[in-house]
Amino acid sequence: MLDLLDEKYKKSSVLVVDDENLSLELSNRILSPLFTVYLATNGEQAIEYALCYKPDLILLDIMMEGLDGTDICYVLKSKPETKNIPVIFVTSHYEDKMQMKCWKAGCVDFITKPINHLTLTHRVKTHIEHKIKTEILESLIKKDRLTNISNRFALDEDYPVAINYCQRNLAYFSLLMIDIDDFKLFNDTYGHTSGDNTLIKVASIIKKSLSRSTDNVYRFGGEEFVILLPNTNNTGAEMLSKKIISALNSNRIENKKTKIGYVTISIGGVTYFSKNIPNDMVEALNVADNALYKIKGNGKNSYFIEDNELHQQTILNSSTLLDKEISLIKNSEDKSNYYMCWDKESSMNRIGDDRDFYIEIIEIFINTFPEYALQLGNNIDNNDRGKVIFFSHKLKGICGDIGADRLYEFLTIIENIAKLDNIEIIGEIYNKLLLEFKLVKNLMNNEFNFSSDI
């Protein structure tokens, strides 16, 4: 572990953000002999560099023109790619109020101005070492020591993430359970050392069969493995099952105690669609295990995938859920719910610090959206799937530009339903889309004091 820590430490990087060139240069001179240093002079650049370079630590001045340090920190902590990067604030302010603001933004430490060489060096080194150790430990905890693939602990963490993506995006989800046939007999015949070597080989073959970064295999226990397949329908799950079985059969790992003469596997699986995916992983595992049991009783060395898609009920359920979410947004004073509706800060960050230009874009959005929405509604009434997909996609681009995240989500659902040829039930969701636009428009009018007729 020490060698790994040392190797990662040498490759560490720091992003320094400050709009004063003198402070920027001073920090660079102190840190560059130890780390790769990236320099940013404003908030927009800082966010861009953080997303691009994924530094191990960010040294962030609080008081800057445009986006200040706490604004930048909020943005970074809201993004999955940067939320775990430690942020140290550099400040000449000692007031409790300012410190509380920084802690709430998500910083891990402070350094006061004027910067002290030793203090800066040791604070940065300490937090980078802590981050690297945490990452190494998390990696070790989530790896099966024998096969070097992900373990049950990782499966428990990854399952909710995978299904949340599929539920939000009206996507398929498949889960496969794999069992090595007659493995106890194999261990009794060849010994546990050979059994361990076989587990390693089988795990490697399964892992090499996965071609997408979103797919992952886990050692579930003993001779059992589980694969999570986001955005994969029944056909895709069957194709992968065939591929894995074929790959293992071609390796011909000897097992003279079986009729076929070599090690085989059986695969049971289940496919769900969007909101039908159970939040409790045990439920999905039980269905896959029952499918596996059917194969075991029917000759082994094959697969069976249960199909639980139920498209239309899923879409109606998702519509009801979104209706409840809108009700929460309308009746809540919590800013986190407010930003689910309109992420003003994030969208302004993409524009920069030109507030007048941003207001111009908002006005264009308010005036343009109803026109396109009307055309979308007409095409829904005319059952024109192609144009429904076109206009919902076009509106998504407009909503994305100004941070209307909930509108974007509605339009994604409409677009996906149209692709699934279920256009007759879009009307209910379209009505909610119009309601959501009125809510966003009111928020924008109040924020920028637009006249009520805009």
Could you report the per-residue pLDDT of 20-31, keeping only the tens digit for each? 888 898 999 999
With beta carbons less than 8 A apart as the criterion, state whether 31 and 38 touch. Answer: no
With beta carbons less than 8 A apart as the criterion, state whether 234 and 305 touch. Answer: yes
With beta carbons less than 8 A apart as the criterion, state whether 307 and 272 touch. Answer: no
For residue 273, the SS3 value is strand
Is residue 263 pLDDT above 80, yes or no?
yes
- Provide CATH code, domain 152-309: 3.30.70.270
Range name among 13-27, 93-107, 311-325, 426-440 with the lowest pLDDT average: 311-325
Residues 6+ apart with CB under 8 A from 274: 166, 167, 169, 170, 171, 172, 173, 314, 315, 318
Look-up: residue for tokens 């159970």?
278
pTM of the full structure: 0.53
CA distance 171 to 168: 8
Task: Report the pLDDT averaged over residues 414-422.
Answer: 72
**Which residue has better confidence, 162 or 165?**
162
Task: Report the pLDDT averaged over residues 99-117.
Answer: 86
Q: What is the pLDDT of residue 200?
A: 97
**CATH 1.20.120.160 boundaries in the chain:** 313-448
**CATH 3.40.50.2300 boundaries in the chain:** 2-141
Is residue 334 pLDDT above 70, yes or no?
no
Q: What is the pLDDT of residue 208?
A: 95
- CATH architecture for the domain at 2-141: 3-Layer(aba) Sandwich (3.40)
Residues 6+ apart with CB under 8 A from 240: 176, 209, 210, 227, 229, 232
For the segment 124-141, what is each residue's pLDDT rounded down to a tens digit? 999 999 988 888 888 788
Is residue 197 pLDDT above 60, yes or no?
yes
Q: What is the pLDDT of residue 317?
A: 44
Residue 336 pLDDT class (50, 70, 90 cuts): very low
CATH 1.20.120.160 applies to domain 313-448? yes
